[in-house]
Amino acid sequence: MARKLAAGNWKMNGTVINLPQIAEIAGLAVEDGPEVLICPPAPMISRAADAARGTQLAIGGQDCHVAEKGAHTGDIAAEMLRDAGATYVILGHSERRTDHGETSALVLAKAQAAQRAGLTPIVCVGETFEERQAGLTLEVVRIQLASSIPATDAPLVVAYEPVWAIGTGLVPTSEQIAEVHADMRARLALIDGVKTADVPLLYGGSVNAENAATVFAVPEVDGALVGGASLKPADFAAIVAALSAS
Ligand code: PGA
């Protein structure tokens, strides 16, 4: 069975003054509880990893390049994230797909680079509002999975993040989340090598202290990828507690 995972995506928020929050969140990570992960902005990763040293808190990146090194100004290799103390990396977030035109083919190459470097990729998929309205949700997610998940048994996390639910306060119904998660579990089994039962399937999009327990009660939901609420340790603590209790 997949381990439960509460992952915080700090996006482009956080400097040295937020290090005490890392230390506070580290207190939520316990051996027999869910895995707890914070993905701060890249310049903070090594300091966050220092702050988390000796605790169970994992630190991750928010993107990586496909190459190991070279002439790619401004980019960060998976090996560099690993060197800075990261063990996970978020890939294919809808904000990267939109802001940087990332395709599923690119996300696949990044996920392969991450796995080569020993990082666990968290591959994000999800439909837009228009796609849901048009009844295309499962089709869109199936295509994203088939074209962005590496065919290997290396560690992997998948996050279902409906684009329309990110940062909007809108959350799909439990039935809608259940439908997509069950389909993702089945579809991952079709990809060579992937040990579908071991892959944590996260839901992401406006998860907060109030709705977390409802989200975690949905079958095949193993945790959450949390944006805004992960910046507030008390709210993130409530989310971790809800995941522990689920
Ligand atoms: P949100 O972001 O929790 O602020 O909606 C989630 C995400 O983008 O991963």
User: Is residue 225 in contact with ligand 1, taking CB distance under 6 Å?
Assistant: yes
Query: What confidence tier does 228 reach under pLDDT thresholds 50, 70, 90?
Result: very high
Dig out the tokens for 135 from the structure.
């009844």
Considering 93, 95, 127, 181, which one is annotated as catalytic?
Answer: 93
Which residue has the least CA distance to atom 6 on ligand 1? 227
**109 exposure class (CB count in 10 Å sphere: 0-12, 13-18, 19+):** middle
> Is the separation of the CB atoms in 4 and 224 below 8 Å?
no
How many angstroms separate the first and last alpha carbons of the chain? Answer: 14
Ligand 1 atom at shortest distance from the alpha carbon of 165: 5
Tell me, in angstroms, the distance from the centre of ligand 1 to residue 94's CA.
10
Q: Write down the mean pLDDT value for the chain.
A: 97
Instruction: Give yes or no: 93 in active site.
Output: yes
Dig out the tokens for 99 from the structure.
């802001």
pLDDT for 1 = 82
The 10s digit of each residue's pLDDT in 27-68 is 999 999 999 999 999 999 999 999 999 999 999 999 999 999
What does the pLDDT average to over 207-230? 98
